[in-house]
Amino acid sequence: MSWEKERLVPLRALANPLRVRIVSLLTGTAMSATEVAEELGLAHGSASYHLRQLAAAGFLEQVEEDRPARPGRGRSPKRYRYDPSSADRLDRSSGRRLMQEATFTDLRRRLEAMSRQRQSADAEVWLDPEDWDQVCSLVAEAVDLVHRGARPPRSEGAVHVSMTALLFELPDAR
């Protein structure tokens, strides 16, 4: 495998709705497999397996914390958090469709759980290139704000939200 391929994160690692949820969960905080399992209602072994797969693919980083081990438990559990720089290393040549399907599956779950809709938009239009660039820039700014502002699950005063953004160009079908 070439150096270039080795440094690209395989999208197939996110081709699972559960892994999409885990990455989202770990955007706001570092968590152990036990904490992820409790939050998502999973078996510990399943949470641990998915965390290892996501870490191996470069989406998560292991975090060293200054937490003492629990009494009688030996060393502290491994804790992981989302690595936002992984988006810059995504292999966009393969697996993209699988990742989008996993995201759509998880979006169906979130839509069923929705308690209040704040904003929704759908459009298939033609725009001037300058307007399109501005739209892309504004959405990128919103995505960045959501990632920077993410808090641990159930943080006091925090609102549990969902944001999905997918901007793409279409061929002119003439």
Q: Which of 85, 91, 88 is nearest to 8 (CA)?
A: 91
Whole-number CA gyration radius for the chain: 18
60 membership: H or E segment, kind and range: strand 60-63
Average of per-residue pLDDT across 124-141: 96
Domain locations in the chain as residue ranges: 3-116
Provide the whole-model pTM. Answer: 0.76
Q: How far apart are CA 13 and CA 147, in angstroms?
A: 20
How confident is the model over 10-20, as pLDDT tens digits?
777 888 889 99
CATH of domain 3-116: 1.10.10.10
The pLDDT score that the predictor gives to residue 22 is: 94
How confident is the model over 23-64, as pLDDT tens digits?
999 998 999 999 999 999 999 999 999 999 999 988 999 987
Q: Which of 58, 48, 47 is nearest to 10 (CA)?
A: 58
Mean of per-residue pLDDT scores for the chain = 85
Q: How far apart are CA 14 and CA 20, in angstroms?
A: 6
Q: Specify whether the CB–CB gap between 153 and 170 falls below 8 A.
A: no
DSSP code of 90? B
63 membership: H or E segment, kind and range: strand 60-63
Residue 68 tokens read as 């003492």
DSSP code of 93? T
